[in-house]
Amino acid sequence: QVQLVESGGGLVQAGGSLRLSCAASGSIFSIGAMGWYRQAPGKQRELVATITRALRTNYADSVKGRFTISRDNAKNTVYLQMNSLKPEDTAVYYCRITTPVDYWGRGTQVTVSS
- Which tens digit of pLDDT belongs to each residue from 24-78? 998 888 889 999 999 999 999 999 999 999 999 999 999 999 999 999 999 999 9
Beta-sheet pairing, 46-51 with 34-39? antiparallel
Query: pLDDT tens digits, residue range 74-95?
Result: 999 999 999 999 999 999 999 9
d(CA 113, CA 94): 20
CA 21 to chain centre: 7
Residues β-bridged to residue 5: 23
Please give the single-letter amino acid code of residue 91. Answer: A
The CA distance from 58 to 41, in Å, is 24
What is the pLDDT of the chain when averaged over all its residues? 96
DSSP three-state, residue 19: strand
